[in-house]
Each structure stands twice: as C-alpha cells, then as structure tokens.
Amino acid sequence: MNIVQEVKDLGLPSGKYAVVGSGPLAVRKLRAARDIDLIVTQDIYDALRAKGWREENFPEKPGRPWVLFHGPFDVSTTWSVNDYEPSPEQLMRNADLIDGVPFVRLKDVLQWKRTCRREKDLHDVALIEAHLKLKGQSEND
C-alpha cells in the first residue's frame, strides 16, 4: 500500500488533516501499515460522511468515539487514548510533511503508543526509539 498516494488521491485540503497511527512508521519504512488512520477537522469529517463513508460509534473509546471507514481509511476528529489527549489542531499544525502529505511527528506517535500500551504498541515504541537514536534525535526534538 502506498500511503502517500492513497492520501493524495483523497484530495483533502492542506492543514485540515494528518496521518496518525502506524502511517508515520510505515512512511519511514519502520514497519508496514494495514490501514491508514487520519485525524481530520470536523468539516472534513462531515464532508466524508456525506459522501457515504461508513460511520461507527465506539463508546468504549472515549477519546475516539466516532470513526469513519472507507477502503483502507479510518478517520476521526480526535486522537486520544487513556489520559493522552493531544490537540488535533496542534497535531495537524506540527505534522511532518513527507512527499506533500502531513504525518504526525514520531515523538507524538511515541507518546500515544506509550500511553496505549498494547503489545503491538510496545513493539512500535522500541522501533521509534531505535529510529530516533539512529537519527541522533531525542524525543524532545
């Protein structure tokens, strides 16, 4: 799956979305992604829903109760887990632009995955920490 091209094909306006989840790892070739998770502004969410994207409610996930699904995409207006509740606007504004597509910074993915603490997330934490160390970057860069 070519995440960059899949996202570009959506034609979303700049500054109104960012790739979250495993996408920032996949674009850096740290591991593959099975889907493409996006955080979007409310107007983009509403426009995708109006196009017929399937909406589901996840009341057991307070930080991400409503999600849209279409093809490889999972779309939400928030990206919170447990007590980690980052500002969606700040995540989008600070995203790394890679081949014209905004990807949430690895340090933000690292914080999310540390907070989530599922087995697969702990594996990703190790991948991100090793990548940052290899690049001579700290989590605070």
- Reported as a single tens digit per residue, the pLDDT across 77-87 is 988 877 888 89
Of the CA atoms within 13 Å of residue 132, those in its CB half-sphere come to 18
- Cα separation, 124 vs 77, in Å, equals 23
Looking at residue 83, its pLDDT comes to 80
Hunting for tokens 């989008």 — which residue is that? 92
Strand 36-40, strand 73-76: pairing: parallel
Looking at residue 91, its pLDDT comes to 95
Looking at residue 42, its pLDDT comes to 95
Domain tally, the chain:
1
- Cα separation, 100 vs 98, in Å, equals 5
Confirm whether 129 is domain-assigned: no
Looking at residue 26, its pLDDT comes to 93
Looking at residue 121, its pLDDT comes to 81
Looking at residue 138, its pLDDT comes to 59
Q: What is the DSSP letter of 28?
A: T
Looking at residue 3, its pLDDT comes to 95
- Cα separation, 125 vs 102, in Å, equals 21
Confirm whether 13 is domain-assigned: yes
Q: Which domain holds residue 35?
A: 3-79+87-104
- Give pLDDT < 70 ranges for the chain: 59-65, 137-141
